[in-house]
Amino acid sequence: MNDTQVKRRQRLTRPESKVRTRAALLAAAQKVFSEGGYPGASLDRIAAEAGFTKGAVYAHFSSKEELFLELLTGTLALQVADLENILEAVRGAPDRIAEILEGFLGRFDDAGPDGRRDLPMLGMELQLESRRNPGFAVAFEKVIERHRRTLAAVIGEIFRLQGKAAPMPIEQYSGTLIAIVEGMALARAAGPSGSVGSIGLVLKILLSLEPADRPAAAEDKR
């Protein structure tokens, strides 16, 4: 650390220092999770990665569950922001709506430090933790339900821009979208079948952006 960096650090107020420490702990938690998953992400490892003592972790978070719930909340907000930004860009050109999904899914193949790529796995691991921990389950479900509602609003806008009525309740779409993205994370881990292109096509069909070819037998039964 050079003299300029030292002076800048010395000028931080207490609130600024707390914000910076909290952000450093969350970034460390993201890195540790990426390397070993939720079970291997101990508070000791997170503190060491951030360059703080374990006491500093407890000064900001009451438990490992609380820390990772905040990490999940922040990363979900990035996901929603991605969708909203792309929607805003194509509102004047409805024929380009397919780009919404391509751009959205592409962020999950970006191995950057913001945690988007690890988001589906983080969500699934915390869901498993919520089944083991009833107290944590209440807080976890609040975060997920808020995310479902936000996604539902964005999906509703997708249909509005197409001038179409959704063939099923919008709330069901948001739950299905979450499940598909989580499945994409598992498929990616298994091999090339989890590519953005193949799963993107499924999502386009789901949102009526591509026609689905149905077998003739299925048509005859109608």
Note the pLDDT tens digit of each residue in 114-167.
556 677 788 888 888 999 999 899 999 999 998 888 888 888 887 887 788 888
Q: Is the separation of the CB atoms in 55 and 45 below 8 Å?
A: no
CA distances (Å), origin 117, targets 52, 132, 133, 172, 177: 26, 25, 26, 24, 16
Rg for the chain (alpha carbons), in Å? 21
Question: For the residues 61-77, what does the mean pLDDT come to?
Answer: 91
pLDDT for position 47 = 96
Residue with tokens 């929603």: 80
Note the pLDDT tens digit of each residue in 17-34.
899 999 999 999 999 988
What percentage of the chain carries pLDDT values higher than 70? 67
**pLDDT confidence tier of residue 89, bands split at 50, 70 and 90:** confident
Q: Is the separation of the CB atoms in 75 and 116 below 8 Å?
A: yes
Angle between helices 43-50 and 64-90 (to 10 degrees): 60
**pLDDT confidence tier of residue 58, bands split at 50, 70 and 90:** very high
**pLDDT confidence tier of residue 63, bands split at 50, 70 and 90:** very high
pLDDT for position 218 = 42
Residue 215 has pLDDT above 50, yes or no: no
Backbone angles phi, psi at 41, to 5 degrees: -90, 75
Distance CA 194, CA 192 (A): 5
